[in-house]
Amino acid sequence: MIGRIAGVILHRARDHVLIDVRGVGYIVHVSERTAAALPPAGQATALYTDLLVREDLLQLFGFPTMLEKEWHRLLTGVQGVGAKVSLAILGTLGPEGLARAIALGDWSTVRKAQGVGPKLAQRVVLELKDKAPAIMAIGGDLTVEAEGAGVPAIEADTPAAPAPASMAGAGARPRAAVTAQAAAEALSALSNLGYGASEAAMAVAQAQTEEPEATTTALIRASLKKLAPKG
């Protein structure tokens, strides 16, 4: 499988990008959110990719982080969710927003994506609610963006180690990575305290929705309050 594409952007459109890799141009389909975040034509970029293989078709789908790619793989495993619908969901919610919606059982938020009706949105939430905690728990390690130019990498179907983080900004991390890391650490702490994965994920998602900038400690404290017996 072509697991990563790195090269120079030749053309950028709303839903795809053409990347030159040592003289070979690869068309990579992306969400509108990803397309908007890519650099202009003539500059280098890199995307993690998923290859769709059919009898009469080969298509590459690109993602800025391994976290988003893993969500894509989960989404396309749901009946009725093809690659384009998956990109629409991720483009609308982002991986963090999708994780929170599923953990909270909030199918109405998933429905906001183009091409997603109420029944499909409910199916996505129902089928992925038990898988969301696992992705949330490792989300901080999967948010490192693919960077640099070179030949396409070939990887197995299991998640690969994240690419090295950029040294620009003296080690500064993207907000999404910080948010995902806090959620991952909070989930781990709650799990160590004996809470179930689903209830812990729901509590963390609720707490993070109320306090998006919460540190790990604050997130754990807020989640424990939500998990405390009522009455």
Q: Average pLDDT, stretch 69-74? A: 94
Could you tell me the domains of the chain?
2-65+144-154 (2.40.50.140), 66-129 (1.10.150.20), 173-227 (1.10.8)
- Which one, of 39, 40, 12, 38, lies nearest residue 25 by Cα? 12
This prediction has a pTM of 0.73
202: left (phi over 0), alpha (psi -120 to 50) or beta: alpha
What is the C-alpha separation between 205 and 190, in angstroms, rounded? 13
pLDDT at 231: 54
pLDDT at 228: 84
Q: How many CB atoms lie within 10 A of CB 4?
A: 23
Mean pLDDT of the chain: 83
With a cut of 60, say whether residue 154 has pLDDT above it.
Answer: no
pLDDT at 35: 95
Q: Return the residue matching tokens 């500059």.
A: 43
Check if the beta carbon of residue 48 is closer than 8 Å to that of residue 3: yes
Write b or e for each residue in 29-38: b if 16 or more Cβ atoms lie within 10 A of its Cβ, otherwise e.
Answer: bbbeebbeeb
Q: pLDDT tens-digit profile of 157-203? A: 444 444 433 323 333 456 777 788 888 888 888 888 888 888 888 88
